[in-house]
């Protein structure tokens, strides 16, 4: 999604001189096309994320639309208070861009994982929060949101090749995208892990048990796709949420809120990070298997949950 | 925003409003009364809050907001009735400045935040080809914040000469004296080492402050005025006392304080 991001932002910058791009010294081999096309609107802020967000606040008050770019954890957790007291409190169009949600920086270790960003951003009512599932959806999401009047957070994956089957670059703010229909259960996924969720649904359908799962992709986390969730969750006895994120505060929590606040009878099982991480660590796939969010782990959680819910 | 703004009047408003609302932070506000008087007495240019080319002012040490409210009041941008809502319910005049109040461009109060906003504002002015400048008042203890030095580095690297920081060097912080808590001495040398154009000025000499501020050119390095001040300046029993970071004045203390302010003027 990084290449998709830089293309989308470059397109926006071609149309609108207010668009500027700031990076916290990251983006080697990704951001160069923007920097070369718009040298006067590209700033490497250095390894100084708080100042980068503070500057974006000052720039946007004067009429600019600054994108600030870093790895998820450095884009959100380090400057979190600057994001709240700056663009959120001031209702300014700063775009926080975090790359590499979940375990995408696998071997880099836990300091580089992004497991709480959605929780903390979702706690702020004033910021749109977008977690695309693949690069096509990322491009569509940026096209749909870059000119919004208030702040936006984008949680982007690094992968620019994988596409989620059936998604076809669909995105609409406040909506979820249903990419598969089924009546035994629903799987609701947020972000790049949606490709694993879709693969798990395929496995459930093709194996002996013939479980049919609806699959819903939630990229517009804030505003949340409440109506789309209600529509799907009112028709199934069970929903599995999938996120490369803590189960607290992310899409699992969002779905729990929708179920509880609307009195649905649908049972919820959340797949995501539950415990403080302990070594040994490994690559993205290894970490996703270990944390129960690989396709095999999701399918196996679904089977167990279906048998406990009963026919 | 022209005409004289008297530091004596600022101090009087700070003291009376503090008494009326029974709220502290008096010492910090008295410390910057002369700096605010210089800025609002003619240094800051522009045609009011909706003029895009107005100079931006950021009170990064937001806890001294009473001095700012006093200046807004004395320059006719805040009515007496509004001023009297300081720290009342349903008011925009809190202990720290809040955007939404006319004349306040940015909400502050979280120390170490304001200068980075100022750097962005100065960069914006450069990109837009505007001659407007950005003035940021920080406290000396605020320089404990690492984020402030991030902003200091960026401004120097990009030679944002349209950015002016004023350090209120009063030597005190919330729970002690800066020399004892986390020494920043020598303050001027530190900014100089980071590539700023440094001016050391008596922070209670309005003429000297205004002269230094008026003489800055926007072409080169960013500027810092290291303003040597006295915490609680103008009220003998408050000067240099940590207590007056927190305490509101009693009726008797207010009377004494106002007498001293009048005598000192």
What DSSP string runs through A257-287?
HHHHHTT---EEEEEEE-S---S----HHHH
Decide if B107 touches A, using CB distance below 8 A: yes
Task: Give the per-residue pLDDT at B264.
Answer: 81
Residue that the structure tokens 């706690």 belong to: A123
- Under 8 Å CB pairs connecting chains A and B tally to 98
Angle at B146 between CA B123 and CA A64, to 5 degrees: 25
What DSSP string runs through B38-101?
HIIIIIS-SSSTT-TTSPEEEESSGGGHHHHHHHHHHTTSS-HHHHTTTT-TT-S--SS--TTS
A86 contacts in B (CB within 8 Å)? 113, 117
A20 contacts in B (CB within 8 Å)? 127
A48 contacts in B (CB within 8 Å)? 147, 150, 153-154
Question: Is residue B29 over pLDDT 80?
Answer: yes
Strand pairing partners for B172? B177
Tokens coding A175: 């909506």
Burial class (CB in 10 A: 0-12, 13-18, 19+), A309: middle
Task: Give the per-residue pLDDT at A311.
Answer: 54
A191-195, A248-252, A255-259, A306-310: which has the minimum mean pLDDT? A306-310
Rounded-to-5 percentages of helix, strand, coil across chain A: 40, 20, 35
Rounded-to-5 percentages of helix, strand, coil across chain B: 45, 10, 45
The chain A residue lying nearest B127, using CA atoms, is: A40
Asked if A63's CB is within 8 angstroms of B128's CB, the reply is yes
A62 contacts in B (CB within 8 Å)? 52, 120-121, 124-125, 128
Mutate to test the interface with A, among B113, B120, B121, B153 (most CBs of A within 10 A): B120
Asked if A54's CB is within 8 angstroms of B115's CB, the reply is yes
Question: Is residue A2 over pLDDT 60?
Answer: yes
**Alpha carbons A303 and A307: distance in angstroms, whole number:** 6
Asked if B119's CB is within 8 angstroms of A58's CB, the reply is yes
What's chain A's average pLDDT?
97
Q: What is the DSSP code (8-state) at residue B102?
A: T
Nearest to B153 among A46, A60, A82 (CB): A46
**Digit-coded pLDDT (tens) for B125-171:** 999 999 999 999 999 999 999 999 999 999 999 999 999 999 999 99
A40 near B127, Cβ under 8 Å? Answer: yes
Burial class (CB in 10 A: 0-12, 13-18, 19+), B7: buried
**Digit-coded pLDDT (tens) for B71-130:** 999 999 999 999 999 999 999 999 999 999 999 999 999 999 999 999 999 999 999 999
**Digit-coded pLDDT (tens) for B185-219:** 999 999 999 999 999 999 999 999 999 999 999 99
A81 contacts in B (CB within 8 Å)? 110, 113
* Average of per-residue pLDDT across A190-194: 98
The chain A residue lying nearest B57, using CA atoms, is: A58
Residues of A with CB under 8 A from a CB of B: 20, 40-41, 43, 45-46, 48, 50-51, 53-64, 66, 81-82, 85-86, 89-90
* Average of per-residue pLDDT across A84-95: 98
**Alpha carbons A235 and A232: distance in angstroms, whole number:** 6
Question: Is residue B2 over pLDDT 50?
Answer: no
Nearest to B107 among A63, A82, A85 (CB): A85
Angle at A23 between CA A18 and CA A28, to 5 degrees: 120
Nearest to B124 among A40, A45, A58 (CB): A58
**Digit-coded pLDDT (tens) for A52-79:** 999 999 999 999 999 999 999 999 999 9
The chain B residue lying nearest A44, using CA atoms, is: B154
A182 near A201, Cβ under 8 Å? Answer: yes
**A214 Cβ contact list (under 8 Å, min separation 6):** A178, A180, A181, A182, A183, A185, A186, A187, A232, A235, A236
Q: Is A212 helix (H, G, I), strand (E, B) or coil?
A: coil
**Digit-coded pLDDT (tens) for A209-229:** 799 999 999 999 999 999 999
A65 contacts in B (CB within 8 Å)? none
* Average of per-residue pLDDT across A280-294: 97
**Digit-coded pLDDT (tens) for A144-159:** 999 999 999 999 999 9
**Alpha carbons A248 and B76: distance in angstroms, whole number:** 50
* Average of per-residue pLDDT across B19-36: 96
**Alpha carbons A159 and A169: distance in angstroms, whole number:** 15
How far from chain centre, in Å, is Cα B1?
Answer: 16
Task: Give the per-residue pLDDT at A209.
Answer: 72
Contacts for B157-161 with beta carbons within 8 Å, 24 or more apart? B157/A46, B157/B195, B158/B123, B159/B220, B159/B221, B159/B222, B160/B119, B160/B122, B160/B123, B160/B126, B160/B222, B161/B197, B161/B216, B161/B217, B161/B218, B161/B219, B161/B220, B161/B221, B161/B222, B161/B223
**Alpha carbons A277 and A284: distance in angstroms, whole number:** 14
Which percentage of chain B shows pLDDT scores above 90? 95
Nearest to B113 among A46, A48, A85 (CB): A85
Model ipTM value: 0.96
Minimal Cα–Cα distance from A113 to chain B, Å? 23
Predicted TM-score (pTM) of the model is: 0.97
The CA-to-CA distance between both ends of chain B, in Å, stands at 23
Mutate to test the interface with A, among B58, B97, B117 (most CBs of A within 10 A): B117
**Alpha carbons B169 and B180: distance in angstroms, whole number:** 14
């Amino acid at each position: 999604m990084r290449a998709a991001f830089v293309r989308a932002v470059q397109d926006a910058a071609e149309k609108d001189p207010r668009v500027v791009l700031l990076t916290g010294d990251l983006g080697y081999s990704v951001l160069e096309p923007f920097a070369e096309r718009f040298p006067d609107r590209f700033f490497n802020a250095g390894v100084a994320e708080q100042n980068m967000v503070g500057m974006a606040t000052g720039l946007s008050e004067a009429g600019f639309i600054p994108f600030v770019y870093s790895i998820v954890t450095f884009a959100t957790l380090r400057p979190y208070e600057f994001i709240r007291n700056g663009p959120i409190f001031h209702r300014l169009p700063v775009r926080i861009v975090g790359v590499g949600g979940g375990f995408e920086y696998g071997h880099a270790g836990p300091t580089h994982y992004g497991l709480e960003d959605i929780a903390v951003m979702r706690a702020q009512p004033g910021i749109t929060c977008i977690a695309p599932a693949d690069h096509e959806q990322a491009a569509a999401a940026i096209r749909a949101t870059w000119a919004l009047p208030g702040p936006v957070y984008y949680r982007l994956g690094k992968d620019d090749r994988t596409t989620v089957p059936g998604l076809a670059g669909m995105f609409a703010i406040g909506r979820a995208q249903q990419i598969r229909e089924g009546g035994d259960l629903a799987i609701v996924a947020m972000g790049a892990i949606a490709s694993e969720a879709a693969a798990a649904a395929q496995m459930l359908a093709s194996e002996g048990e013939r479980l049919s799962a609806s699959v819903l992709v939630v990229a517009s986390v804030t505003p949340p796709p409440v109506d789309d969730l209600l529509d799907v969750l009112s028709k199934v006895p069970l929903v599995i949420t999938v996120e490369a994120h803590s189960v607290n505060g992310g899409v699992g929590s969002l779905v729990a809120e929708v179920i509880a606040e609307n009195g649905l009878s649908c049972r919820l099982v959340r797949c995501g990070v539950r415990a403080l991480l302990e070594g040994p660590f490994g690559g993205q796939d290894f970490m996703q298997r270990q944390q129960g969010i690989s396709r095999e782990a999701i399918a196996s959680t679904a089977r167990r949950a279906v048998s406990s819910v009963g026919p | 925003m022209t005409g004289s703004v008297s530091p004596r009047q600022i101090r009087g408003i700070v003291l009376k409003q503090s008494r009326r609302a029974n709220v502290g932070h008096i010492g910090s506000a008295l410390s910057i009364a002369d700096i605010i008087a210089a800025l609002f007495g003619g240094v800051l240019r522009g045609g009011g809050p909706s003029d895009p080319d107005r100079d931006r002012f950021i009170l990064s040490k937001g806890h001294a907001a009473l001095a700012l409210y006093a200046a807004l009041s004395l320059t006719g941008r805040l009515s007496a009735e509004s001023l009297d809502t300081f720290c009342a319910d349903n008011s925009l005049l809190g202990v720290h400045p809040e955007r939404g109040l006319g004349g306040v461009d940015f909400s502050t109060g979280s120390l170490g935040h304001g200068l980075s906003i100022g750097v962005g504002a100065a960069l914006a002015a450069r990109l837009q080809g505007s001659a407007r400048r950005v003035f940021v008042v920080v406290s000396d203890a605020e320089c404990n914040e690492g984020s402030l030095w991030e902003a200091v580095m960026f401004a120097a690297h990009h030679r944002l000469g349209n950015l002016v920081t004023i350090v209120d060097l009063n030597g005190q912080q919330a729970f002690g004296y800066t020399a004892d808590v986390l020494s920043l001495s020598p303050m001027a040398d530190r900014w100089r080492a980071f590539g700023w154009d440094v001016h050391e000025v008596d922070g209670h000499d309005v003429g000297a402050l205004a002269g230094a501020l008026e003489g800055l050119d926007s072409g080169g390095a960013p500027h810092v005025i290291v303003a040597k001040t006295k915490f609680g300046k103008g009220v003998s029993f408050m000067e240099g006392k940590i207590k007056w970071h927190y305490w509101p004045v009693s009726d008797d203390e207010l009377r004494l304080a106002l007498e001293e302010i009048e005598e000192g003027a």
